[in-house]
């Protein structure tokens, strides 16, 4: 019985879920009405880091269903944050890239998010924060190309 309790006490997912709730609340409180939502920031950041990519590759990297990718890209494009164009090599595919306005909005969001992280992670040293970031990148598979695991 003791080993089960010890094992449960060391599970990370409840802590990650709790931290995610705290982070969402803090981010939402710092966001102006009509500001970027979490999934929009993640998509813009991905495009900023990796450059233009196919709509399908973006969806796979985000772990989103194709219909959800279309909705997300419609939102971003309507706000002038991304540019979607036909791939000249294959007219059936769309290429998505960050617009100059999207880069500006993303940088402002990153500054705001950095302030939120400073508040949430105040108890961690800069080295611990860097290690946490690297571990999370590995856990979500963002350091590997290709589709991400999806939960049912």
Is there a domain that residue 2 lies in? no
Distance CA 1, CA 19 (A): 28
Cα separation values, 117 from 5, 22, 46, 126, Å: 31, 11, 19, 11
Coil, helix or strand for 11?
A: coil
Would the pTM of this model clear 0.85, i.e. be above it? no
The whole-angstrom separation of Cα 86 and Cα 31 is: 33
> Which is it for the CA torsion 51, 75, 64, 104, positive or negative?
positive
pLDDT, one tens digit per residue, over 99-152 is 999 999 999 999 989 999 999 999 999 999 999 999 988 988 755 554 444 433
Instruction: Tell me whether residue 74 is in a domain.
Output: yes
53 inside domain: yes
Number of compact structural domains in the chain:
1
Token representation of residue 98:
């960050």
Q: Is 1 among the domain residues?
A: no
- What is the spatial distance between Cα 24 and Cα 143, in angstroms, rounded to a whole number? 24
- What is the domain range of residue 48? 13-140
Give pLDDT, residue 150.
45
Q: What per-residue confidence (pLDDT) applies to 63?
A: 87
* Residue at 73 is within a domain: yes
The enclosing domain of 17 has a CATH number of 1.10.10.10
Residue 67: closest CA among 78, 75, 59: 59
Q: Is 36 exposed, middle or buried (0-12, 13-18, 19+ CB in 10 A)?
A: buried
pLDDT tens digits along 10-64: 788 888 999 999 988 988 888 776 678 888 999 999 999 999 999 999 999 888 8
């Amino acid at each position: 019985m003791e080993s089960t309790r010890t094992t449960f006490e060391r599970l990370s997912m409840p802590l990650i879920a709790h931290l995610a709730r705290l982070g969402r609340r803090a981010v939402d409180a710092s966001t102006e009405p009509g500001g970027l939502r979490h999934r929009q920031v993640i998509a813009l950041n991905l495009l900023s880091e990796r450059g233009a990519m196919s709509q399908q590759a973006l969806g796979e990297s985000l772990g989103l269903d194709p219909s959800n990718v279309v909705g997300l890209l419609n939102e971003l494009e309507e706000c002038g944050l991304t540019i979607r164009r036909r791939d000249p090599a294959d007219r059936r595919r769309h290429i998505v890239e960050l617009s100059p306005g999207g880069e500006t909005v993303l940088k402002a969001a990153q500054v705001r998010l950095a302030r939120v992280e400073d508040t949430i992670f105040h108890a961690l040293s800069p080295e611990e924060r860097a290690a946490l970031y690297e571990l999370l990148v590995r856990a979500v598979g963002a350091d590997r190309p290709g589709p991400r695991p999806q939960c049912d």
